[in-house]
Amino acid sequence: MGAHRAGIRQKLRQGAVFGIAVAHLAVIGSSVTLHHGELVVTLRVLVAGGAGFIGSHLCDYLVAEGNEVVAVDNYITGRAQNVAHLAGHERFTLREHDVTQPFAWRGDAVFHLASPASPEGYLRHPFETLWVNAAGTDVLLDLARESNAKFLFASTSEVYGDPLVHPQTEAYWGNVNPVGVRACYDEGKRFGEALTMEYVRQYDVDARIIRIFNTYGPRNDPGDGRVVPNFIAQALSGQPITIYGDGSQTRSFCYVRDLVRGMAAAMFTPGTQGEVLNLGNPDERSIRDFAATIMRLTGAEAPIVHRPLPADDPKRRRPDITKAQERLGWRPTVSLEEGLGETIAYFRQELGKQTLP
């Protein structure tokens, strides 16, 4: 299979594609043209979950890099509005479809981001969450296999559960409650990872897994209960800031622009087949500190209210990104203050729209 694929693929060497210093791109059927003396490679890329928060930023990035992007989404937690600015672009298509159902596509790379991601989303849609990470992953891996396309599974730091090891490296197997309320997400992702690895082992699919740690940015859904959008929306609307527990639990927040660069690097850096890579920002802060930073940046003077910690809520979360740094040459560069500044500006605009008649 490997030899067969090598035979039909044309290996291209191109500098500065996807922000990678020198990327060796394995391309099948993509268009390669000369433009003002420069080699232009157009990859055909599928983004499952492309109308979601991260998916929409990934679509922006891939289109801006000159690729042809098909975003597929059933809008269970995403919004077509997230990619409305790309509508009508000649290299962008949005298709409404549930990826647990087979569909036709041929191309060069499949990013699988389709899954409810916030506790609010997966607790409301537990079966859909299990199913999209099981059947949906199978459908998308099959498409990649048929197309000889690259594949990336967007997994999560939640596969580490309530970790007993800090910070978490990819070698840590996790501490997950398999029958708890969060299992639909945690175990769904763990199944998706296992399935991805079987497609690598049994069919030599050029697939990799990334474990995303908490990510934030513009287009975060203000109603989905995640820490950053929650705090910002509360601060901007003058409501009390809700902290679960005493606020000593930690999180590490990665700005979405940094994350999508890392995703593209994970997909297109040579030698990443079958690899598992943590992507996140190791800048670990307590939830209490984080609330204080948002209050400072928004100028809010809202009181803080404490609520009980949800079940199986991890106490500490910080990625070890040594592997991504070494293998991909990637690390986050946007500071928390800069990322929050852009996110707060977006929320001000969005919340402003909601109060208009």
Ligand X SMILES: NC(=O)c1ccc[n+]([C@@H]2O[C@H](COP(=O)([O-])OP(=O)(O)OC[C@H]3O[C@@H](n4cnc5c(N)ncnc54)[C@H](O)[C@@H]3O)[C@@H](O)[C@H]2O)c1
Lookup: tokens for 269: 């850096």
Q: In the set 30, 67, 77, 196, which binds ligand X (CB under 6 A)?
A: 77
Nearer to ligand X, 120 or 198 (CB): 120
* Residues 247-276, interacting with ligand X (CB under 6 A): none
Nearer to ligand X, 27 or 339 (CB): 339
Rounded CA-CA distance 92/69 in Å is: 5
Q: Which of 129, 125, 138 is nearest to 156 (CA)?
A: 129
Distances from the Cα of 294 to the Cαs of 245, 290, 301, 304, in angstroms?
18, 6, 10, 12
Supply the minimum distance, in Å, between the C-beta of residue 50 and ligand X.
Answer: 7
Nearer to ligand X, 52 or 218 (CB): 52
The helix (H) or strand (E) run that includes residue 64 is: helix 53-64
Q: In the set 45, 132, 276, 291, which binds ligand X (CB under 6 A)?
A: 132
Please give the single-letter amino acid code of residue 336: L
Counts of helices then strands in the chain (DSSP H, E): 11, 17
Supply the minimum distance, in Å, between the C-beta of residue 254 and ligand X.
Answer: 8
328 part of the interface to ligand X, by CB under 6 A? no
161 part of the interface to ligand X, by CB under 6 A? no
Supply the minimum distance, in Å, between the C-beta of residue 69 and ligand X.
Answer: 15
98 part of the interface to ligand X, by CB under 6 A? yes
Query: Which residues, 6 or more positions from 291, have their beta carbon under 8 angstroms from its beta carbon?
Result: 231, 241, 243, 247, 304
Which of 61, 122, 160, 185 does the annotation list as catalytic? 185
203 and 147 in contact (C-beta within 8 Å)? no
| 185 counts as catalytic | yes
Q: In the set 27, 61, 69, 100, which binds ligand X (CB under 6 A)?
A: 100
Stretch that binds ligand X, among 5-13, 48-56, 290-298, 321-329 (CB under 6 A): 48-56
The helix (H) or strand (E) run that includes residue 285 is: strand 284-286
Stretch that binds ligand X, among 7-15, 113-121, 285-293, 315-323 (CB under 6 A): 113-121
* Residues 185-224, interacting with ligand X (CB under 6 A): 212, 214-215
Helix axes 137-147, 183-203, angle to 10 degrees: 20
Q: In the set 18, 44, 45, 49, which binds ligand X (CB under 6 A)?
A: 49
154 part of the interface to ligand X, by CB under 6 A? yes
Stretch that binds ligand X, among 12-20, 52-60, 263-271, 294-302 (CB under 6 A): 52-60
Nearer to ligand X, 119 or 344 (CB): 119
DSSP-assigned letter for residue 168: B
Q: In the set 30, 74, 269, 272, which binds ligand X (CB under 6 A)?
A: 74
Q: What is residue 68's three-state secondary structure? A: strand
114 part of the interface to ligand X, by CB under 6 A? yes
φ/ψ of residue 69, rounded to 5: -115, 130
137 and 194 in contact (C-beta within 8 Å)? no
168 part of the interface to ligand X, by CB under 6 A? no
Q: What is residue 154's three-state secondary structure? A: strand
DSSP string covering 206-266: -EEEEEE--EE-TT--TTS--HHHHHHHHHHTTPPEEEETTS--EEE-EEHHHHHHHHHHH
Q: Which of 99, 60, 53, 57 is nearest to 78 (CA)?
A: 53
How big is the site for ligand X, counted in residues (CB under 6 A)? Answer: 29
Q: In the set 43, 47, 99, 141, which binds ligand X (CB under 6 A)?
A: 99
Supply the minimum distance, in Å, between the C-beta of residue 296 and ligand X.
Answer: 23
Rounded CA-CA distance 144/153 in Å is: 12
Q: In the set 4, 8, 10, 75, which binds ligand X (CB under 6 A)?
A: 75
Supply the minimum distance, in Å, between the C-beta of residue 82 and ligand X.
Answer: 7
Supply the minimum distance, in Å, between the C-beta of residue 126 and ligand X.
Answer: 12
- Residues found near ligand X in the complex (CB under 6 A): 49, 51-55, 72-78, 98-100, 113-117, 121, 132, 136, 154, 156, 212, 214-215
Which residues have a catalytic role annotated? 185
